[in-house]
Every structure is written in structure tokens, then in C-alpha cells.
């Protein structure tokens, strides 16, 4: 198996690898998703526009950082690259009243859409390359999860 050289002192790799969470030996995407939690807790009371701006910044920075790290590693979407999961889970939890139930449900919804990749998520994953290809499917998985989570809240299931 090919060895990869990571350097968390390089800003783009630090971000793309989810501050090192993506180096988890098992389920790095799932572990990396948890990297969104500090940002979710920090921004939960912020106005909607501010949360949208953060999500856009996470996405734009992620396109750059993930694309550059993938190029460094010579692998399109190496499992250690998890900033896309951070951004996707952040998107999932936007405008949601936080509780352990909403966090757990949002986490499970996001991981479901990220892993199963139904419909358009799979299309984006297959067709886009570079940083866009790494980020786009998780952004869309986050949007799908956000819609489902809000539907569960609005209908009283959460």
C-alpha cells in the first residue's frame, strides 16, 4: 500500500484533513464529520445570513484546500480528506435548534446521504473532479439532510 506524506503544518492540508481527524485509522469520514461540531455550537445563535456566509466560506475554502491536498497526495478523494464532511454537516445543522436529538438525527441523515449518495449526489460525485468534485457531493448531501431535518422538526417528529 502506498504511503502518503501529510503535513498538518501546511494550512491547506490542516483544513482538508479536518485538523487531523481524517487521519483516524477507521471511518475517517465519520470521525471527520465531528469536526463541524465546534462551528455548529459557535454559530447556532447567529442570524441565518451569517450561517449561510460561513457555509459558503467553508465550501469555497474547502474547494481550494481539498483540491490542493488531493493534488499533493496524487489521489482524487483520499479518505483522509474530510473537510467536505465538516462543511456538509455544518450545512445540515444550519438554522436548527440544537439538542442531542437534532444533532444525532442530523449526523445520521448526513452520513446516510454522504455514504449512499442517492440520485444527483452520485452524479456530482462521478462527474466533477478536483476540489469541486470532492466538495460538491457533500454540500448537496448537507442540503438534502438539512431539508429532511427541518421537515422532521416542522412535522413534530423532533
**pLDDT of 118-127, one tens digit each?**
999 999 888 9
Residue-wise DSSP of 99-129: -HHHHHHHHHHHHHHHHH--THHHHHHHH--
Separation between Cα atoms, residue 142 and residue 36, nearest integer Å: 12
Say whether pLDDT at 5 is over 80.
no
12 to each of 7, 74, 77, 148, how far by Cα in Å?
Answer: 9, 15, 14, 32
Backbone φ and ψ of 152, nearest 5°: -65, -40
- CA nearest 142: which of 57, 39, 55? 55
- Domain segments of the chain: what residues? 12-17+28-154
- Measure CA 144 to chain center: 13
Burial 102-124 (b: 16+ CB within 10 A, else e): bbebbbebbbebbeebeeebeeb
Sign (positive/negative) of CA torsion 132, 137, 142, 148? positive
- Measure CA 29 to chain center: 9
Backbone φ and ψ of 26, nearest 5°: -130, 140
Predicted pLDDT at 2: 54
pLDDT tens for each residue of 25-62: 999 999 999 999 999 999 999 999 999 999 999 999 99
pLDDT tens for each residue of 78-96: 999 999 999 999 999 999 9
Predicted pLDDT at 4: 64
Predicted pLDDT at 124: 87
Question: Which of the pair, 76 or 111, is modelled with greater confidence?
Answer: 111
Report the chain's mean pLDDT, rounded to a whole number.
94
Amino acid at each position: 500500500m502506498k504511503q502518503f506524506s501529510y503535513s498538518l503544518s501546511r494550512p491547506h492540508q490542516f483544513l482538508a484533513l479536518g485538523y487531523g481527524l481524517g487521519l483516524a485509522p477507521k471511518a475517517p469520514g465519520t470521525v471527520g464529520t465531528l469536526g463541524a461540531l465546534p462551528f455548529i455550537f459557535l454559530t447556532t445563535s447567529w442570524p441565518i445570513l451569517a450561517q449561510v456566509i460561513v457555509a459558503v466560506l467553508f465550501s469555497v475554502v474547502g474547494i481550494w484546500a481539498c483540491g490542493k491536498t488531493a493534488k499533493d497526495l496524487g489521489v482524487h478523494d483520499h479518505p483522509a480528506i474530510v473537510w467536505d464532511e465538516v462543511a456538509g454537516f455544518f450545512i445540515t445543522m444550519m438554522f436548527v435548534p440544537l439538542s442531542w436529538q437534532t444533532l444525532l438525527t442530523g449526523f445520521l441523515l448526513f452520513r446516510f446521504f454522504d455514504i449512499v449518495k442517492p440520485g444527483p449526489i452520485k452524479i456530482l460525485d462521478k462527474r466533477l473532479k478536483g476540489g469541486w468534485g470532492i466538495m460538491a457531493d457533500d454540500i448537496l448531501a448537507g442540503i438534502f439532510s438539512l431539508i429532511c431535518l427541518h421537515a422532521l422538526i416542522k412535522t413534530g417528529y423532533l
